[in-house]
Amino acid sequence: MICFNLLADDFNDYLLALTIYNRFFHPLHEVPGPFMCAISWLPWYRYWFSGHMHLEVLKLHEKYGPVVRLGPSEVSFIDAAAWNNIYSLKRCRQIERCPKSFPALTPHGAKFDLLTYNPSDHARYRRILNPSFSEKAIREYEPAIHRNTDRMISRLFESVLDEGPNLNITRWLQWLTFDMVADVVWGEPFDCITEGHSHPCLALSMDLVSLSSFIVFVAWWIALKDFLIKLSGVERMFIEMVRSKCEANLNSESKKKGVFWNLAKSGGPLNINELDGNLSALVIAGSETTGFVCTSACFYLASHPASFRKVATEVRSAFSSEKEINDDRLKKLPYLRAVLEETLRMTPAEPNGLARRVVAEGIDIGGRYIPRGTAIYVSQFAANRSSTHFHLPQEFHPERWLNDPSFHNDKLEAVQPFIMGVNACIGRGLAWMEMRLIMAKMLWNFDWTIDSSEGKAFERAKAWHVWMKNPLQITLLSRHNLPDPIVDSTEECG
């Protein structure tokens, strides 16, 4: 009993000493932030577990400024200069990817994809995959994007006729982008749209994202983390499905062109683990993000009829028939671009920031000394909605991207939805083409509205590494049977 009391006293003394050190003597002690965040990780875990960390971090930055200490060794930035200070090529030897944002879902923490922690492996993967995402390659993927989008439009018409105009657009766009990424990678879709239900691989990809979001709680306990990953079996099952698609492509008499075909043709520069890892990463990243951005665009346009009217008129007057729609011409439509830019500002694909860890002895970020071992990042949601960066930051205004004088002081450079530098999203060109074509064909064929209660639920969506895909019920009406356009530019909701 005496020994127990002595141990308890020693432990309490240790906690007190650690608290005093973290708050008053730690190299980060001068970084603004809540007292509890400086001395303990408990607030961080509470924010993260709630699914509303992006909202909490925004509140903290509004209170404390552009730099906030979120944990004893974690700092969030939102100023535009921080993008270059943290993610640029010149920093790649001083700062590495942090397992908190890129948890390994393989035993012993090994990673075999573009999210690897090893800079030399990352550079090699990008060098191998870059040809598959060049401007020339992306143009070759355009027929697949058209084909899958047209299939969805046709099925939406059928759904409206058979089941009525109210439908969950989140589900349809998720199916579409999942079919698209499979078509780009293997030359054939998963047939989610055709079959009208999710492919097992889609469910597994969502499980993988959820697993990676919550594995951060035990990332420090390697044995437990590996046990939970093995117990779930999600990563193994997803890899098996990816391999089955590769084998089917190789065994097909008519080899279907795509990313995998390009890699196979180049002589197999990736080993089996690297091929599994990179194709899995492409499938998950390529479907999760684009679908949600298009869902968000549908929401914001339905909530803002004046913006709907402008972009619908722009798209519908640019072509004499749907067959004329192509990406080269869509690139020239400024308001469509502005709608997508503003959607990416309001709901960035990765709202909580992609953490980096300082591996140098210490570096200077924006005039502040950041010691070795500190996790640092730009919190995208907080940066994009900061009142120091934007006029009316919580409101949807595509005009801010079109030199509107009302927004002349906006710091647009603070918005970097695809990150920047050596770690920029390899598929950003493809993502832009997909978003333009999906939204243009939706606007060509339909008008849509939402109930105000739907909007409130959508804006309170939870987010971890990516957003939770809450259902968005819209009322979809074929514009070909109605006056064009049906929305009243004098109305504005949300």
Residue stretches of the annotated binding site for heme: 425
The span from the CA of 119 to the CA of 92, in Å, is 7
User: Quick check: bond before 485 cis, omega within 30?
Assistant: yes
Closest CA to 492 of 320, 301, 219, 298: 301
CB-CB contact of 170 with 468 (8 Å): no
E strand or H helix that includes residue 371: strand 368-371
* Both structure tokens of 292: 């949600």
Please, what's the b/e burial string for 336-350 (b: 16 or more CB within 10 A of its CB; e: otherwise)? bbbbbbbbbbbbbbb
Q: What is the DSSP letter of 319?
A: -
Q: Which amino acid is at 475?
A: T
CB-CB contact of 474 with 449 (8 Å): yes
Which residue ranges are tagged as binding site? 425
Partnered with residue 377 across adjacent β-strands are 76
Residue for token pair 């109305």: 491
CB-CB contact of 269 with 263 (8 Å): yes
* Both structure tokens of 271: 């080993």
Helix (H, G, I), strand (E, B) or coil at 189: coil
